Amino acid sequence: MKQIYFSLASLLVPAFLNSGILNTPIAVPDKTSNERPDYKWMTGSYVGYAWSQNTGIVTPNPKQFNSPKIGDTDNDTVGNVPYAGFSLSRRFHKYYLVGFSYDVYGNFLYRRYHLDGNTPTPTPQAGVEVLGIPYSRTFNLDHQGVLFNLTLDLPKKCEYVIEEMHIKPVFGAGVGFGVSKVKGFQALGYYDTSPYSQVTTLGGLNVTKNFAWQCTLGLGFKPRNSAVSFGLAYRYYNGGKFESSNYFVLNDGVNDGKPVELTAWTGILKTQQLKMYINAEF
pLDDT tens digits along 248-274: 999 988 898 989 999 999 999 999 999
Fold of the CATH domain 40-281: Porin (2.40.160)
pLDDT of 252 reads 87
Q: What is the mean pLDDT of residues 54-59?
A: 98
Average pLDDT, the chain: 87
pLDDT of residue 24: 36
pLDDT of residue 20: 42
Q: Name 268's Cβ contacts closer than 8 Å, sequence gap at least 6.
A: 55, 56, 238, 239, 240, 241, 242
pLDDT digits (tens, 9 = 90+) for 153-167: 988 888 999 999 999
**Confidence band of 194 (pLDDT split at 50, 70, 90):** low
